[in-house]
């Protein structure tokens, strides 16, 4: 069980966290549960059930492929059935699959990046709306990236630029319905080895070299010249999700050591 930095901060709230089996999503979901939220952990990976069990209490898990509309709709419906509604959606699924100069991307690889890092957020935002409306309001936090200005992952950058556009435009549309839409834009984040790799085919030596160039660029672009930790990403996501951020909407908050993305 994760440490509750602000005990009771999410008491009475139902949260859906996508991509909750590992990385930033796992940390966000466990801490939200520790701080009193009833949390649905959603992921494509089966072991999301084990992760939700770590949270104990009323946490639940469901597997869904959020690159499909059916998966997004089923996940939000599951949360409403299980917990009686949804108050907060954290759209965390995403991540660059491949690092390479744009000229080296094949068309199917471009499509895969958009499917991974734009469509789950677009579908889940749409699928949660009736549930938030039924509660009289709520909050959506999207996890974007500072890669909107960065090398060797242009299709991913484009997907995250789309996430920023969803955040701003949907916030404008929904402010009158008591629904806030906000985002963080994480920078490079240190993480333990991934149980589910970003690229199931593994990275070739050439791709590893391109990845090293990305790491250099990300470090140089940050005023702090370092990567952040998973905890340093989870904290601002949960602040934006909480009622402490009640006058913040349409904002994409860079969390990248000074790099604005
Ligand atoms: N880690 C970083 O350095 C970094 C930097 C900037 C932005 N981000 C963003 O933060 C978010 C989380 O990053 P991370 O590194 O923790 O991710 P990760 O790759 O470690 O984990 C992503 C999780 O999402 C799940 N997932 C992937 N596709 C899915 C799908 N179609 N349906 C359901 N679940 C799916 C995976 O199974 C996995 O558990 C992403 O949106 C990423 O773009 C991360």
Mutate to test the pocket of ligand 1, among 21, 24, 230 (most ligand atoms within 8 A of CB): 24
Give the active site residue among 123, 156, 227, 247. 156
pTM (2 d.p.)? 0.98
Residue 3 CA to ligand 1 center (angstroms) comes to 22
Note the pLDDT of residue 1. 57
Residue 6 CA to ligand 1 center (angstroms) comes to 25
Beta-bridge partner residues of 161 = none
Note the pLDDT of residue 5. 87
The alpha carbon of 154 is separated from its chain's Cα centroid by a whole number of angstroms, namely 19
Q: Is 247 a catalytic residue?
A: no
Q: Given the CA of residue 22, which atom of ligand 1 is nearest to it? A: 39
Which residues are near ligand 1 (CB < 6 Å)?
Answer: 19, 21-25, 43-45, 64-67, 92-95, 116-117, 120, 143, 145, 186, 188-189, 191, 194, 196, 198
CA dihedral 97, 192, 240, 54 (to 10 degrees): 120
Q: Give the 3-state secondary structure of residue 160.
A: helix
Burial of 258 (0-12, 13-18, 19+ CB in 10 A): exposed
Note the pLDDT of residue 155. 98
Q: Give the 3-state secondary structure of residue 150.
A: coil
Note the pLDDT of residue 4. 80
Query: Are the CB atoms for 211 and 156 separated by under 8 Å?
Result: no
Question: How would you write the pLDDT of the chain (261 residues) with one tens digit per residue?
Answer: 577 889 999 999 999 999 999 999 999 999 999 999 999 999 999 999 999 999 988 999 999 999 999 999 999 999 999 999 999 999 999 999 999 999 999 999 999 999 999 999 999 999 999 999 999 999 999 999 999 999 999 999 999 999 999 999 999 999 999 999 999 999 999 999 999 999 999 999 999 999 999 999 999 999 999 999 999 999 999 999 999 999 999 999 999 999 999
Domains (range + CATH), the chain:
14-255 (3.40.50.720)
> What's the rounded Cα separation, in Å, for the pair 28 and 168?
22
């Amino acid at each position: 069980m994760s440490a509750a930095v602000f005990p009771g901060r999410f008491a009475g709230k139902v949260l859906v966290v996508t991509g909750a089996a590992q990385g930033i999503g796992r940390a966000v979901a466990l801490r939200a549960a520790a701080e009193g939220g009833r949390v649905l952990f959603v992921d494509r990976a089966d072991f999301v059930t084990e992760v939700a069990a770590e949270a104990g209490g009323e946490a639940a898990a469901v597997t869904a492929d959020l690159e499909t509309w059916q998966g997004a709709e089923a996940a939000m419906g599951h949360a409403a059935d299980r917990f009686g509604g949804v108050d907060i959606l954290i759209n965390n699924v995403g991540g660059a699959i491949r690092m390479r100069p744009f000229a080296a991307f094949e068309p199917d690889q471009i499509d895969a990046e958009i499917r991974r890092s734009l469509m789950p957020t677009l579908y889940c935002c749409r699928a949660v709306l009736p549930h938030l409306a039924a509660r009289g309001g709520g909050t959506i936090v999207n996890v974007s990236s500072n890669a909107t200005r960065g090398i060797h992952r242009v299709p991913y950058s484009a997907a995250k630029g789309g996430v920023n556009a969803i955040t701003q435009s949907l916030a404008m549309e929904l402010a009158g319905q008591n629904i806030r839409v906000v985002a963080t834009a994480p920078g490079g984040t240190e993480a333990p080895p991934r149980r589910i790799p970003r690229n199931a085919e593994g990275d070739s030596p050439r791709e590893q070299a391109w990845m090293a160039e990305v790491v250099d660029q990300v470090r140089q672009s940050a005023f702090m010249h370092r990567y952040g930790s998973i905890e340093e990403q989870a904290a601002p996501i949960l602040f934006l999700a909480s009622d402490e951020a009640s006058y913040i909407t349409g904002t994409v908050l860079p969390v990248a050591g000074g790099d604005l993305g």
